[in-house]
Chain A
Amino acid sequence: MADVATAGRGAATRRGRGAARHPGRLGRAWIPYAYLAPALLLYGLFLLVPLVRAGQFSFFEWDGLGASAFVGFDNYLAVVQDERLRDAFGHALVLVFFYAVLPLAIGLVLAALLTRAKVRGIGFFRTIIFLPQVIAMVVVAVTWRQIYAPDGPLNGLLRLLGLDALTTAWLGDYTWTLPAVGLIGTWVSTGLVTVLLIAGMTRVPGELYEAVRLDGAGPVREFFAITLPAIRGEITVALTLTIVAALKTFDLVYVTTGGGPGTSTTVPSYEVYRRAFELGQVGEAAAIGIVLTILVFGITAVVNRIGDRS
């Protein structure tokens, strides 16, 4: 450690950039890792170790209390065979549409409008749009649960507009509950996506727009020819974040519906919780968790592969 300290101080006193880039003749390849060590240790302790333990649990039948029995891939077979679980994964994919695809569409329009129009008080609008992101999900869920209540504001509004026929118990209706929960996700994600896209769009050099305008392109052509390709990176980031959020949804479902009505809004994370903590099927819960992790990795890898291709 003493070596690191003197080397560091020496480099600092020498001030020159070139000096810092060559920290000495001895090849101290381990120094970067020493800097990484504290973070890596924490990351390993709180993420990698639990992940590996979960992977290990997934090969056992264990109730969380007594002895366990090694069952090989039985838990994974159960994940594939259990209709209720297949449904849960299906629901998660529906949520991807509401968490990622829909917010991206809305976000592109909003961001394009906000950057083009050069509105006054853009900071204010950005804050408003981003606000749902900073509210705790449980608070969001409790609020929307009240909005969706049979006597809640949403049905109140519909009645006010004379649309009594459209009113329903939004969280108790077999057709509408999953979309209703999904739309909460849309409301939350849109802010994040929009702010990311605005950041990307403001970075696009003005000359490009001038050039395309001289060529006689309208706003729509301009958007597809210049803006969209330029913010491909931001779109990839936005999709990655929101898809991950969609697939690991737990709090929203836990607070709003508990998986109901029937089993129409169950999601994998909720099944993990239910099995591990309520039913005492720790092995199966771990297997679901691992499958979900692989799914998240897979989908985001595909998104990034497409996003990087340029």
Chain B
Amino acid sequence: MRSFTRPASVVVGVALTVTLVSCAPGTGQGNAPEPQSTEISTDISGVDDMTLTVWDQEVRGAQNEQIEQLNAAFEERYPNITIERNSQAFDDLNTTLRLALTDNDAPDVVQANNARNTMGAFVAADQLRPLDDYADAYGWFDRYPASILQYSTYSDDATVFGEGELYGLPQTGEIVGVFYSKSKLEELGLEVPSDWAAFDEALATAKSAGEIPLQLGNIEQWPAAHVFGPLQGNTVDVADVTRLGLGNAGASWTTPENEQAAAALQGWATDGYFNDGANGTDYDAAWQALAAGNGVFLLGGSWLAADLADAMGDDLGFFLPETDAGTLATTGGTGVPFTITSAAENTDVAAAYIDFLTSDAAMEILAETGNLPVNRTAELAPDSGVLADVYTAFDAVTQGGSLLPYLDYATPTFGETIGSALQDLLEGRTTPKQFTEALEADYAEFIDSNG
């Protein structure tokens, strides 16, 4: 052992010196943005036979079904294009994209999460192609509400989120609201609460009847953000939430309104409205508990609707309480947007593919396969069932209300910051004031460093 140590350290030392003076990381690799041809075309039928490489995260049942149907339809319409699909779960795609995009053999179309540490980082590094020209050519700005497109819009250097050029299009919508058991509500003699004050009363009634008013599984740290988000929408001005959520300058976490929202959440915890040990309960275990008849309400995203409906059938409902001001405002957003990489072999083909995936006809396929289409939501809504509720709520919020950004979009570290801060708040280890101060620290530091 000992005799080996010296030569080894010499080898390491020499190698270290050699590499330190040689190339720095991030140089001489990756693809410098190729000069884009100014001529774009929306007709790709004359393109030579080629393969379009797509990396997506549409792996769950309904997601996978819609993308397979749409891919097949695309290849049928354009026999000259073959789609090579690489699909990975959301978390896996998020961690591998960073490496994949800098590779010489980068994919053409990728689903890049809206957040600053994903899409924002790629935009700043010139790894994604801005799409405004194609948006004009295809009419995407008319197809989508502006409140949706802002989530895939960045300034050129990615310091501003929500303004600038468009970088991607989502297929589906997401909205956070309240799932509930109709039979439980009936037993308790309650109506569906119309606003947050009525919701508070309903929670108190459920508690005194010995029910678990609210199911929450927060071991993953982010689920509580989907409880806090709607509460924040009730007390804080929409423009401020948007600035805070997108990490843009001009707002503050340390306001009485934000504290009020935090106090409301903490109040629910101290009143014992949540299941015991919510911080140590799995996210999946919580909605499964609701499905099994333990609990009355659960605040969660529309993505839970299909699985919950499988278990609860017609007993399941979904609603969104109005704010005190009589408006609708809740956390929500879009599915992960499809973007074109700077390395894309033929951007016309890539743009045609994205247009195809988000066309009016595609929205019908999305609805048929049980997804929540981002456009034409109201007219494609099913007649009954929880999906009808979800479609209606999404349409109401995107057309007449405000869809608030996921708060973890704000800064690269914000997901972790708000996750642990919420666990601390629920546990009563911090006051609402300290909670807002912890978030302000992260937000302010980012705004400062972002210039």
Q: Which residues of A pack against B, CB within 8 Å?
A: 44, 48-49, 51-53, 55-57, 59-60, 62-68, 70, 145, 148-151, 168-174, 177, 257-263, 274, 277-280, 282
Q: List 11 extra interface pairs beyond A150-B277, A280-B98, CB under 8 A.
A: A56-B20, A57-B25, A60-B26, A65-B98, A65-B127, A68-B25, A148-B280, A150-B275, A169-B279, A173-B279, A173-B280
Interface digits, B108-144 against A, CB 8 Å rule (1 contact, 0 not)?
0000000001000110111100000000000000000
In the assembled complex, how far is the CB of residue B205 from the closest CB belonging to chain A, in whole angstroms? Answer: 24
A interface: dominant SS: loop
In the complex, the answer to whether B12 meets A52 with C-beta atoms within 8 Å is yes
Chain A residues in 8 Å Cβ range of B127: 65
Chain B residues in 8 Å Cβ range of A53: 19
In the complex, the answer to whether A60 meets B25 with C-beta atoms within 8 Å is yes
Q: Choose one: A55, A170, A260; the contact of B420 (CB below 8 Å).
A: A260
A172 and B285 in contact, given A278-B117, A280-B121 (Cβ under 8 angstroms): no
In the complex, the answer to whether A56 meets B282 with C-beta atoms within 8 Å is no
A-B CB contact pairs (8 Å), 22 listed: A48-B15, A52-B19, A56-B20, A63-B26, A65-B26, A65-B101, A65-B102, A68-B24, A70-B24, A149-B280, A151-B285, A171-B219, A171-B280, A172-B278, A172-B279, A174-B427, A258-B219, A263-B420, A278-B95, A278-B415, A279-B117, A282-B25
In the assembled complex, how far is the CB of residue B278 from the closest CB belonging to chain A, in whole angstroms? Answer: 7
Interface centre among A57, A65, A170, A173 (most CB of B within 10 A): A65
Q: Does B16 contact A (CB under 8 A)?
A: yes
In the complex, the answer to whether B280 meets A172 with C-beta atoms within 8 Å is yes
The closest CB in chain A to the CB of B419 belongs to: A260
The closest CB in chain B to the CB of A177 belongs to: B280
In the complex, the answer to whether B30 meets A55 with C-beta atoms within 8 Å is no
The closest CB in chain A to the CB of B126 belongs to: A66
The closest CB in chain A to the CB of B19 belongs to: A56
In the assembled complex, how far is the CB of residue A308 from the closest CB belonging to chain B, in whole angstroms? Answer: 10
Expressed in whole angstroms, the Cα–Cα distance for A31 and B117 within the complex equals 52
In the assembled complex, how far is the CB of residue A73 from the closest CB belonging to chain B, in whole angstroms? Answer: 13
In the assembled complex, how far is the CB of residue B123 from the closest CB belonging to chain A, in whole angstroms? Answer: 10
The closest CB in chain B to the CB of A168 belongs to: B277
Chain B residues in 8 Å Cβ range of A48: 11-12, 15
In the assembled complex, how far is the CB of residue B158 from the closest CB belonging to chain A, in whole angstroms? Answer: 11
The closest CB in chain B to the CB of A273 belongs to: B95
In the assembled complex, how far is the CB of residue A114 from the closest CB belonging to chain B, in whole angstroms? Answer: 30
Chain B residues in 8 Å Cβ range of A63: 26, 121, 125
In the assembled complex, how far is the CB of residue B376 from the closest CB belonging to chain A, in whole angstroms? Answer: 35
A261 and B25 in contact, given A169-B276, A173-B280, A280-B121 (Cβ under 8 angstroms): no
Interface digits, B212-250 against A, CB 8 Å rule (1 contact, 0 not)?
000000111100000000000000000000000000000
In the assembled complex, how far is the CB of residue A138 from the closest CB belonging to chain B, in whole angstroms? Answer: 14
Chain A residues in 8 Å Cβ range of B25: 56-57, 60, 62, 68, 282
Expressed in whole angstroms, the Cα–Cα distance for A268 and B416 within the complex equals 16
Chain A residues in 8 Å Cβ range of B94: 278
Q: Which residues of B pack against A, CB within 8 Å?
A: 11-12, 15-16, 19-20, 24-27, 30, 94-95, 98-99, 101-102, 117, 121-122, 124-127, 218-221, 275-282, 285, 412-413, 415-416, 419-420, 423-424, 427, 429
In the complex, the answer to whether B19 meets A258 with C-beta atoms within 8 Å is no
Q: Choose one: A70, A168, A170, A280; the contact of B412 (CB below 8 Å).
A: A280
In the complex, the answer to whether B423 meets A149 with C-beta atoms within 8 Å is no
In the assembled complex, how far is the CB of residue B6 from the closest CB belonging to chain A, in whole angstroms? Answer: 15
Chain A residues in 8 Å Cβ range of B423: 172, 260-262
In the assembled complex, how far is the CB of residue A158 from the closest CB belonging to chain B, in whole angstroms? Answer: 13
Expressed in whole angstroms, the Cα–Cα distance for A57 and B27 within the complex equals 12
Q: Nearest 8 CB-CB pairs, A to B?
A: A172-B280, A169-B277, A169-B280, A172-B279, A65-B125, A150-B277, A66-B125, A68-B26
Expressed in whole angstroms, the Cα–Cα distance for A282 and B98 within the complex equals 11
In the assembled complex, how far is the CB of residue B444 from the closest CB belonging to chain A, in whole angstroms? Answer: 17
In the complex, the answer to whether B98 meets A64 with C-beta atoms within 8 Å is yes
In the assembled complex, how far is the CB of residue B125 from the closest CB belonging to chain A, in whole angstroms? Answer: 4
In the assembled complex, how far is the CB of residue A215 from the closest CB belonging to chain B, in whole angstroms? Answer: 37
Expressed in whole angstroms, the Cα–Cα distance for A177 and B121 within the complex equals 34
In the complex, the answer to whether A52 meets B16 with C-beta atoms within 8 Å is yes
Chain A residues in 8 Å Cβ range of B275: 150
The closest CB in chain A to the CB of B120 belongs to: A280
In the complex, the answer to whether B27 meets A68 with C-beta atoms within 8 Å is yes
Chain B residues in 8 Å Cβ range of A67: 26-27
Chain A residues in 8 Å Cβ range of B19: 52-53, 56
In the assembled complex, how far is the CB of residue B240 from the closest CB belonging to chain A, in whole angstroms? Answer: 25
In the assembled complex, how far is the CB of residue B234 from the closest CB belonging to chain A, in whole angstroms? Answer: 26
Expressed in whole angstroms, the Cα–Cα distance for A70 and B30 within the complex equals 19
Chain B residues in 8 Å Cβ range of A55: 16
The closest CB in chain A to the CB of B412 belongs to: A279
The closest CB in chain B to the CB of A279 belongs to: B412
In the complex, the answer to whether A172 meets B416 with C-beta atoms within 8 Å is no
In the complex, the answer to whether A277 meets B279 with C-beta atoms within 8 Å is no
Chain A residues in 8 Å Cβ range of B20: 56, 59
Chain B residues in 8 Å Cβ range of A66: 26, 30, 124-126
Interface centre among B220, B276, B280, B413 (most CB of A within 10 A): B280
Interface centre among B98, B99, B220, B427 (most CB of A within 10 A): B98
Interface centre among B95, B101, B221 (most CB of A within 10 A): B221
Expressed in whole angstroms, the Cα–Cα distance for A65 and B280 within the complex equals 36
Q: Choose one: A151, A169, A177, A262; the contact of B424 (CB below 8 Å).
A: A262
Expressed in whole angstroms, the Cα–Cα distance for A162 and B351 within the complex equals 65
In the complex, the answer to whether A65 meets B121 with C-beta atoms within 8 Å is yes
In the complex, the answer to whether A277 meets B219 with C-beta atoms within 8 Å is no
Expressed in whole angstroms, the Cα–Cα distance for A66 and B120 within the complex equals 12
A149 and B12 in contact, given A261-B423, A278-B95, A280-B98 (Cβ under 8 angstroms): no
In the complex, the answer to whether B219 meets A260 with C-beta atoms within 8 Å is yes
Expressed in whole angstroms, the Cα–Cα distance for A55 and B276 within the complex equals 46
In the assembled complex, how far is the CB of residue A283 from the closest CB belonging to chain B, in whole angstroms? Answer: 8
Chain B residues in 8 Å Cβ range of A49: 15
Chain A residues in 8 Å Cβ range of B415: 278
Expressed in whole angstroms, the Cα–Cα distance for A171 and B218 within the complex equals 10
In the complex, the answer to whether B24 meets A60 with C-beta atoms within 8 Å is yes
Chain A residues in 8 Å Cβ range of B15: 48-49, 52
Interface centre among B24, B219, B220 (most CB of A within 10 A): B219
In the assembled complex, how far is the CB of residue A256 from the closest CB belonging to chain B, in whole angstroms? Answer: 8
Chain A residues in 8 Å Cβ range of B412: 278-280
In the complex, the answer to whether B280 meets A280 with C-beta atoms within 8 Å is no
Interface centre among B24, B122, B277, B413 (most CB of A within 10 A): B277
In the assembled complex, how far is the CB of residue A74 from the closest CB belonging to chain B, in whole angstroms? Answer: 14
In the assembled complex, how far is the CB of residue A159 from the closest CB belonging to chain B, in whole angstroms? Answer: 12
